[in-house]
Amino acid sequence: MKARAEALPTQEMLINMGPQHPSTHGVLRVILRTDGEVVVNARPDVGYLHRALEKIGERVTYAQFMPFTDRLDYLASMNCNAAWAWTVEKLAGIEVPERAEYIRVIVCELNRISSHLIAFGSFTADMGAFTPFLYAIRERERINDLFEDICGNRLTYNYVRIGGVSADLPDRFLEKTKEFLDYFEPKIPEYNKLISYNKIFVHRLANVAAISGGEAVAYGLTGPNLRGSGVSFDLRRSEPYSVYPKLDFDVCVGTGERGTVGDCFDRYMVRINEMRESVKILRQAIAQIPGGPVMAKVPRAFKPPVGEVYFRAENPRGETGIYLISDGTVNPYRLKLRAPSFVTMNIFEKVTKGLMIADIVAVIGSFDIILPEIDR
Amino acid sequence: MEPKAIFEAVKGKFGEAVVELQEEGFRPAFVVVSPESVREISLFLRDDPAMKFDSLMCLSGVDYKDRFAVAYHLHSLEIGHRIGVKAYLPREAPSLPSVDGVWPAANFQEREAFDLYGIVFPGSKDLRRILLPEDWVGYPLRKDYKYPEFYHGIKV
């Protein structure tokens, strides 16, 4: 036995996972140092998609930056659009018509569902179950159709404007959305039956990379990743913006249902439950939406007053914060995009120590990162 | 706590190191501090029972043309208040202590400020370029940045 152990090479091995790897959700490179199949150290290397969006932002006008926010988190473009608009409106003190705010909330929540569907689908696919991905794409297709009705685009919408939205809702949009909700809501328990409580799936996720609440806060995790650790914090509730105070919903948190609080399974489950909450919000918003204009009066050569503002919005991947400095000209002086996935990657090296290589895939999937947002 | 009260409390504790309160036109308001005291003030803001700023929302480098600045946006989940902390730095060799020992969330964002502004954070556990390649020359988000014509023989 001893002789055999000596014959086997036992030194640590350096492996490149990515930048082209099916489970890294884009061009993420992880430099793995492994001892057999155990990860000694996993260091993320990001920046492959860096486009200097912040520098571009200093050269375009406030309105012109809107399409660039589409490319920030392309699975939740509406949310990024709206976050930018809310930031600028907060800086300039623009009053947005109520109908426009409701429309924004409707498209944001639809986009949250579609983003969580991708998170659910790709995560389960990473874990070796391909069917749920097809289900997720099937449902997401209907949301894409709705968005196509609204603005003609299916991925990068550029729909929200500073002061409102680019166009009022098309005919029958609210009915179609309602039809979609009636169709979609029963699908969530179906997903749970199909995969969520599957024994193999649970075994892959439970007790893997558990993050305590305190740790999650200290490392700046936000959104479902923070709530997965049992911290009940949702910006829509804690720092309400837009018309969210008028809407009733529950903040979903991880409970350690199948293992430890804050493990991969909890983060996964928070997203599944949040889709149901989004349906709830959408139903209320559809019932409450008033008539009226959808655009405030914003001058063409828009110059906000000198000042600095930090606004953050609850996006599907967490807190998208924008630190905006205006010097009173038509261009932003400085805009910093605080992308949730970027900050989340900070904890990656810490939580992956001592895991198996296959668990790395589970961790990446459970964080639901998106690379264009990390690299900006 | 209101920004004014936070400013008074920090001023009372650190005196000269706290320069001013930027309130008009700033949301949230900024407590401007001297760069060398950033770490101590951060520890105070995190640990003091009346402050409890356990969450670093955002850390940003800024180029104000005549000087640089690092802005910290803090939030307390427990108390629910927020404040900004800002330290101005000279254009020549900008440097201030790292706060990644205070809020681990700072590490990536400090690396970003180092990468794009060339601001150095002594005491950081790992300060390398993050978004740009290791061998990139210059700091692109500086206002006086000159775009390179070539990178490894490829026209940019």
ipTM comes to 0.90
pTM of the predicted model as reported, rounded to 2 decimal places: 0.91
Whole-number Å distance between alpha carbons of B41 and B45: 6
DSSP A192-241: IIIIIT-HHHHHHHTTSS---HHHHHHTT--HHHHHHTT----HHHHS--
Which residues in chain B touch residue A214, judged by CB atoms under 8 angstroms apart?
A: 54
Residue A148's closest CA among A98, A107, A105? A107
What is the percent of chain B where pLDDT is above 70? 100
Interface probe, candidates A87, A324, A346, chain B, greatest B C-beta count within 10 A: A346
Give the CA angle between residues B143, B149, B151 to the nearest 5°: 105
Contact of A160 with A103, CB cutoff 8 Å = no
* Contact assignment for B56 to A220 by CB distance below 8 Å: yes
pLDDT at A319: 92
Which residues in chain A touch residue B108, judged by CB atoms under 8 angstroms apart?
A: 342-343, 345-346
* Contact assignment for B108 to A310 by CB distance below 8 Å: no
DSSP structural state of residue A43 = E
Q: Is A59 on the interface with B (CB under 8 A)?
A: no
Q: Is the pLDDT of residue B126 over 90?
A: no
Distance from CA of A320 to the nearest CA of B (A): 10
Q: Which of A321, A338, A346 is nearest residue B104 as measured by Cβ atoms? A: A346
pLDDT at A13: 86
* CA–CA distances in Å: residue A216 to residues A39, A116, A127, A224, B104: 21, 20, 24, 11, 10
Put simply, the chain A residues between 324 and 363 with a CB less than 8 A from any chain B CB are: 325, 334, 336, 338, 342-343, 345-347, 350
Q: Which of B25, B71, B129 is nearest residue A323 as measured by Cβ atoms? A: B71
pLDDT at B119: 93
User: What domains can you pick out in chain B, each with its CATH number?
Assistant: 3-155 (3.30.460.80)
Dump pLDDT digits (tens) for A279-305: 999 999 999 999 889 998 888 888 899
Instruction: Give the bridge partners for B56, in sequence order.
Output: B74
Q: Is B17 on the interface with A (CB under 8 A)?
A: no
Which residues in chain B touch residue A309, judged by CB atoms under 8 angstroms apart?
A: 26-27
Whole-number Å distance between alpha carbons of A321 and B57: 8
Which residues in chain B touch residue A319, judged by CB atoms under 8 angstroms apart?
A: 57
Dump pLDDT digits (tens) for B69-102: 999 999 998 888 899 999 999 988 899 999 988 9
pLDDT at A4: 61
Contact of A108 with A320, CB cutoff 8 Å = no
* Contact assignment for A325 to B105 by CB distance below 8 Å: no
Confidence of residue B27 (pLDDT cuts 50, 70, 90): confident
Walk along chain A (376 residues) in steps of 10 and give the mean pLDDT of each run.
64 84 81 89 90 91 92 91 93 91 94 94 90 92 93 91 91 92 93 90 90 91 92 89 90 88 91 93 93 87 90 92 92 92 91 90 90 89
Instruction: Please give the residue of chain A at the shortest CA–CA distance from B69.
Output: A334
Residue A216's closest CA among B77, B123, B46? B77
Residue A350's closest CA among A33, A47, A41? A41
Strands B154-155 and A29-35: unpaired
Contact of A68 with A373, CB cutoff 8 Å = no
Whole-number Å distance between alpha carbons of B87 and A271: 38
Which residues in chain A touch residue B84, judged by CB atoms under 8 angstroms apart?
A: 310
